[in-house]
Every structure is written in structure tokens, then in C-alpha cells.
Amino acid sequence: MRVVDAHERDRAVVAALTARDECLTKVVLRDGRHLDVLNIAWGYDDGDPFAHITTNISPSRDGVSVDFFLTHEVHALLDPDTGTTIWTAPA
């Protein structure tokens, strides 16, 4: 099993989501939630080992929820148009 550095994971998740800015991405969290993401704002609070992500706030869209999660909660990023996996958490 490969150990993944927190910042390596942050970079991968943030890069994948920002590259798809305004393209719908399905974020699958480890707790089973599926979130629709069109854009993100992200950062760190003092002492946090993982980046936090807020979704769909700039610009906001009617009918698309604003969500908040930490990068270590992400299990996979999916392209709902093609059904392909963009990124998945290392085992």
C-alpha cells in the first residue's frame, strides 16, 4: 500500500476540479454522498492537515447546491457525461 502525503492528495483533487471549472463533475465522498460540482473555492485553515473545498459559489447557479468538504473525504471524481473516472483515492 502506498502512503499518500496530504498535500499530494490536496494538489490532485484541487487540480482535477479546477481543470474542469464549469464542467459538471460528480464528487463521490467516502461516506457515500455524491455531489454535483461546477466550480470550487479552496484553502487551508490554520492547523488543518487537509484542504477544504467549497463548491458552486462563484458563480452560483440556481438548482445547484453549495457544499463543503475536506480533500481527505474524497473517494472519486467522475465525469457524468462520459462515465469515466477522473481521479480516485489511492488504496
Sequence-ordered strand ranges (E) for the chain: 25-29, 34-37, 40-43, 52-55, 68-70, 74-78, 85-88
1: in domain: no
Q: What is the mean pLDDT of residues 67-85?
A: 97
Asked if residue 65 is part of any domain, the answer here is yes
Q: What is the pLDDT of residue 7?
A: 84
pLDDT of amino acid 48: 87
* Residue 60 domain boundaries: 6-88
Looking at the domain assignment, is residue 82 inside a domain? yes
Q: Which residues contact 56 (CB under 8 A, 6 or more apart)?
A: 36, 37, 38, 39, 64, 65, 66, 67
Question: Please, which pLDDT band fits residue 4 given cuts at 50, 70 and 90?
Answer: low
Q: What is the CATH number of the domain that holds 77?
A: 2.30.30.100
Mean pLDDT of 5-29: 94
Structural domain includes residue 10? yes
- Tell me if the pTM is above 0.75: yes
